[in-house]
Amino acid sequence: MSKIVVVTSGKGGVGKTTTSASFATGLAMRGYKTVVIDFDVGLRNLDLIMGCERRVVYDLINVINDEIKLSQALIKDKQLDKLYILAASQTRDKDALKQEGVERVLDELKAMEFDYIICDSPAGIETGALMAMHYADEALVVTNPEVSSVRDSDRILGMLNSKTKRAIEGKEPVKEHLLITRYNPNRVEGGQMLSLEDIHEILRTPLIGVIPESEVVLQASNQGLPAIHMKGSEVAEAYADVVARFLGEDKPMRFIEAVKPGFFKRLFGGK
């Protein structure tokens, strides 16, 4: 039985696509047949983050409009057998995302026996974001420790509870997970950044992980590698932990304690 997971946030630039890429990759590394779909029609970027931008021929909208078969639009990951990408259209606008079309694509993916279908939501609360979340069973709500991001996440949590298929049909609600990204424990300790306890208290949603702020994310996207592939980095390990917790394993939160700068660093400055 396939599970549909939406990665959403409301606000842009908080790490939805970075998270979708690493989360889907992490599930495939664990042996699950996984597909990640870019719902950001008109502004596709997942293909760049996954490093398959030169292999995109057909996209989600071609499939929705019945121009081609779904199997022709699925791009197989270079490294992982069980991972597939479905790119967004770069030329059309979000109105091309028709609900019946989206449902048909998701049903076909279920029939292909995907274990996980990851929907990378666009920013905002319009058609694209609504379509990405509509059929979700679970949701990763990506939040930065910053006031506008927390407020937008609260709005999105409200929509998951009212606008999704599960909400409308009165079924068991979408299972929500809070993922805090770009977290900087040193700035939290200095009282310059909302702590994960603060965010958790405000949003009242179970925390699935904390991804530390790191230059590794930029290094990864520069090369078209999902950050979870950056071996030995804190970001990669934090994402691997998120996947493990999602699969029901008990993992303590890591990389959330402040690190004291050394004597020389304090003396001569630096970050």
Partner 1 sequence: MGFLSFFLGEKKNTASVAKERLQLILAHERNGRSASPDYLPQLQRELVAVISKYVSINPDDIKVHMERQDNLEVLEVKIELPEPGRA
Binding site for partner 1 (CB under 8 A): 146-147, 150-151, 154-155, 158, 162, 188, 190-195, 198, 202
Joined tokens for residue 251: 């993992």
Q: Which is nearer to partner 1, 111 or 147 (CB)?
A: 147
Q: What is the DSSP letter of 94?
A: G
Q: Which is nearer to partner 1, 194 or 240 (CB)?
A: 194
Q: What is the crossing angle of helices 16-29 and 216-223, to 10°? A: 80
Beta strands in the chain (DSSP E): 3-8, 34-38, 75-76, 83-86, 116-120, 138-143, 175-183, 207-212
| Residue 14 Cβ vs partner 1, minimum distance, rounded to whole Å | 16
Distance between start and end Cα atoms, the chain? 47
| Residue 127 Cβ vs partner 1, minimum distance, rounded to whole Å | 20
Q: Which is nearer to partner 1, 247 or 258 (CB)?
A: 258
Task: Give bridge partners of residue 138 from the DSSP assignment.
Answer: 5, 175
- One DSSP character per residue, 173-208 reads PPEEEEEEEEE-HHHHHTTSS--HHHHHHHH---EE
| Residue 119 Cβ vs partner 1, minimum distance, rounded to whole Å | 23
| Residue 45 Cβ vs partner 1, minimum distance, rounded to whole Å | 29
| Residue 265 Cβ vs partner 1, minimum distance, rounded to whole Å | 13
Residue 168, C-beta contacts closer than 8 angstroms, at least 6 positions apart:
none
Q: Which is nearer to partner 1, 158 or 206 (CB)?
A: 158
Q: Which is nearer to partner 1, 69 or 265 (CB)?
A: 265
Q: Which is nearer to partner 1, 103 or 146 (CB)?
A: 146
Torsion sign (Cα): 158, 159, 165, 170 = positive
116-120 vs 83-86, strand pairing mode: unpaired
175-183 vs 138-143, strand pairing mode: parallel
Under 8 Å between Cβ of 59 and 73: yes
| Residue 189 Cβ vs partner 1, minimum distance, rounded to whole Å | 10
Q: Which is nearer to partner 1, 103 or 189 (CB)?
A: 189
Torsion sign (Cα): 17, 230, 205, 169 = positive
CA distance 107 to 24: 19
